[in-house]
Amino acid sequence: MSITAYHRHFSVGIVLACLVPAIVFVVGNFAGAAEIRTNPPYEPGNPWPFEQAKNVLLHAKIVRPPDVNNLKAGYAINGEYYDRYKHGGYEEHLTIDLEQPQEINTIRLWTYWRDDCFCQYYIEGSLDGETWTILVDRRANTKPATENGEVLRFPAQQVRYVRTTFTYSSCDNKPGGRIVEIQGFALDSEAMAELDRWKKVGTGLHGSFGSIDQRYDRDKLPCTAESMTWSGTAWRGERVNAQIVLWTADGADQVRFTTTPLQSKDGGEIPASAVRPQSVRYVLGDANLIPDVLDTAGRLDIPARSTRPIWLSIDVPSKTKAGLYQGNVNVTAQDGASLAFGINMDVLPLVLPEPSKWSFHLDLWQNPWSVARYHNVQSFSKEHFALLEPLLKMLADAGQKCVTTTIVYQPWSGQTYDPFDSMVEWIRHPGGTWSFDYTVFDQYVNFCAKCGIKEQINCYSMIPWSNRFRYFDQSSGDYKFVKAEPGTDAYENHWRPFLVDFVRHLKQRGWLSRTTIAMDERPLEAMQKVISFMKKTAPQLKISLAGGYHPEIKFDVYDLCVHITPSLAPQLIAERVKRSLPTTFYVCCGPARPNTFLYSPPAEAAWLGWHAAAQGYTGFLRWAYNSWVAEPLYDTSHVSWNPGDCFLVYPGPRSSIRFERLREGIADYEKIRIVRQMLRKSDKPEAGKLLQRLDTILAGFGYKAAQDIPAADTVNAAKNVLTEISRDIAAWQ
């Protein structure tokens, strides 16, 4: 089965047709925007377990009687089952020669589907072409054929020949039939057991609330018990996540979701628009199919014997009255099937501020060039900014504080699929003088501020990984490079004109106080040389560093971000926080856990916010918000990095399970901060004990503990404690 074939089972919104080779997206409704982007199939793969098993009938030999000349017969074994018009022709018998004995125990058969037509048939196997054993007997079948085909199982047999005999076709009212595709497999015991489980599932669409800590395989039965009600607790202003899981043994078309308002008995209401269900889309990561993308499609088809998670985000308005709110998420299919999932949301009177007011110092690096390449638009054009806007607003809604800018060409060389260009053009004039074009830099900084990201501007970098600096040479009309190491005359002579002019420009713009020259994982010696040079040349500029901790420069660096292990000493963190110096931690291509890789347990992303609170850090950094690979909605794999290491969100923009759980952990950080403040100010006798209880549960969020204890266990236990303490505080009000 081809990868394209699986895509044909899905309808991605009203205007996207299922039976086309690829989904086509218009880049945008912009003036002059005529570019069309053709993406790969909606999702990878063949339904499990067949993608990992060999189809022994694929491109085998068709055996025909001497008087039969059917040139279409080969269509029946070409691997393409999704086009009913490419069938093997109308025949009473179709015999296939494998040319050597093969073991098979499962046949997948698609007969021509139209209206309510059905076929009656039997399938035989033989080693010599003379003695035949019936493998499948469907002579009494009255079930109409569908695009899902049939999975036919039988005891394992050694066969060289496979013969299908049609005894009746309801559409033609005579013996015969049309085979769109026939496949044969020898499935292992695990695959057979999975098919057995699916066989026991009743017809139609099934569903249940699942766990946000679990990733559900697309082609495995997720559960048998159907839990149709979910209960949760939220502060006012908080977003709460839940997950619904749908599954079907025989397929469900045009599945869509609607929500009702959540209402309380005293007349309070959370609007239906605040309850957002999104289907979870599967992507490849190192050849594994993993659910992560929160898709924007309004409806979809669910193929037979497959599972589809639905991510549920509930945004509780900050002015909601405290109380119990109830409502439904309704799921319907084209055939009239419907499921109602009940929601019980207990809203506490405590208020979580809006993300722009969160204290958490979030620094996820943006890559605008990745957006331009993926959508095939000119960098920093009107079309580009229109595509960037929802992506950046989604980041701002997670509390992002930092704008990622570049002041040199390719500060990280080529470590991402789309290298970073420079937002500042360096121009060397005849005679050796310099000028600097800040047009793109200014546009991007202003645009990020418009989108809600404006607290800090990080400029990469005075110590790029190659120490090669590009400039435009006006005399020759060419781009040229100079290579210079920090501390050398060549380096300082190259940077001095820029720093002086950059300070002037930032003052003019009113940005100087929130701008840093940012470095990434640079050695101590290089850092000391650059710090010394900057103190002499541009002392007003702050410095950021994500990398190893060096006590020699512990207060020279304004924004210090260290790797998760080893952690900074609590006393140093406290001293830096006292000095109002951002002090954060990061994960990147390591450690293996906790992390936000595609295959990381979802709770690990939430764990990171709790770790920051436990250690006293002011925030978290990750090196890639959206450095997409070639086709991130299809395959997240990178030649150098773990799947998902380069990005947390997808084109669209589409959020992800990982990003939503990370945001959840950041919100928890803010709730912990607020609870601590309230307990420290309270004169209630039990306040001290509650504060001690909170500190005790936070003590479990150390790096070493995370290597042995699943993040979900730690996070869920801590969330329960935070909820109980929140209830106690609410009772005082």
Strand 262-263 and strand 306-315: the pairing is: unpaired
Peptide bond into 591 cis (omega under 30): yes
Contact (CB, 8 A) for 313 and 244: no
CATH topology of domain 199-351: Immunoglobulin-like (2.60.40)
Given this model, what pLDDT does residue 125 score? 97
Residue with structure tokens 């149709």?
228
Given this model, what pLDDT does residue 65 score? 55
Contact (CB, 8 A) for 235 and 670: no
Contact (CB, 8 A) for 345 and 316: yes
Given this model, what pLDDT does residue 89 score? 73
In sequence order, which residues have a C-beta less than 8 Å from that of residue 23 and are 6 or more positions away?
Answer: 7, 12, 16, 38, 39, 41, 42
| Strand-pair partners of 343 | 230, 327
Question: Residue 418 — φ and ψ, nearest 5°?
Answer: -110, 105
Helical axes 489-509 vs 524-537, angle rounded to 10°:
60
* 199-351 matches 54-186 in CATH topology: no
Closest alpha carbon to 510 in 454, 584, 569, 585: 454
Strand 133-138 and strand 61-63: the pairing is: unpaired
Q: What share of the chain is helix, strand, coil (3-state, %, to 5)?
A: 25, 30, 40
Given this model, what pLDDT does residue 160 score? 97
Distance between CA atoms of residues 220 and 492, nearest Å: 61
Domain boundaries, the chain: 54-186, 199-351, 401-563
Of how many residues is the chain composed? 733
Average pLDDT of each block of 10 consecutive residues along the chain (733 residues)? Answer: 31 29 31 44 71 89 65 80 73 91 95 90 96 97 89 94 95 90 92 88 94 95 86 98 96 96 97 98 92 94 93 98 98 95 98 98 98 97 98 98 98 94 98 97 98 98 95 97 97 98 98 98 97 98 97 98 97 98 97 97 98 98 97 92 96 98 98 98 96 98 98 98 98 90
Residue with structure tokens 């057979």?
192
| Strand-pair partners of 584 | 561, 619
CATH number for 54-186 (one of 3.40.50.970, 2.60.120.260, 3.40.50.2000, 2.60.40.10): it is: 2.60.120.260
Residue with structure tokens 């800090």?
456
State the amino acid at position 289 in one-letter form.
L
Q: Which two tokens stand for residue 425?
A: 């053009």
Distance between CA atoms of residues 438 and 82, nearest Å: 53
Distance between CA atoms of residues 682 and 677, nearest Å: 9
Given this model, what pLDDT does residue 192 score? 87
Q: Which long-range contacts (CB under 8 A, 24 or more apart) does 571-575 make?
A: 573/615, 573/616, 573/617, 574/616
Given this model, what pLDDT does residue 19 score? 26
* Element of type H or E holding 296: none
Report how far Cα 376 is from the mean position of its chain's Cα atoms. Answer: 21
Contact (CB, 8 A) for 111 and 156: no
Closest alpha carbon to 733 in 236, 228, 112: 236
Distance between CA atoms of residues 442 and 437, nearest Å: 10
Contact (CB, 8 A) for 438 and 380: no
Q: What is the DSSP letter of 541?
A: S
Contact (CB, 8 A) for 161 and 129: yes
